[in-house]
Amino acid sequence: MHKDELLELHEQMVAIKDYFAAREHVDSSLFDPYDGLDVDPSHVHKSKSEHKHAVFVLGNALANAMSDDEFSEAGRVGKRMKELAEDAESKL
């Protein structure tokens, strides 16, 4: 995936995050790990690896926001996103 495509994906995922964060039943602290990264789609000067890591961290948070438990479809996606985020972080 090219960096511009990754930035577009990141931007779309942030829009989804904003939707979930505005919902009453969603714990907004789920997004704290992503918010702590200080990498958002407008930061085009950040590396592709930093954006990739941010996308996986955000994907994990979004999947957890949608899941009922770790064994649901979204829960399994969240677990995989966490693994991918850890791998991406190790390459930063």
Mean predicted confidence (pLDDT) in 7-26: 92
Q: Could you tell me where the DSSP H helices lie in 2-90? A: 3-21, 32-35, 48-66, 73-90
The domain spanning residue 26 has which CATH number?
1.20.1270.110
- Number of domains composing the chain: 1
pLDDT band for 92, please (50, 70, 90 cuts): confident
In contact, 28 and 5? CB cutoff 8 Å: no
Q: What is the pLDDT of residues 24-77, one digit of tens each?
A: 888 889 999 999 999 999 999 999 999 999 999 999 999 988 876 666 787 788
Q: What is the span of the domain harbouring residue 46?
A: 3-90
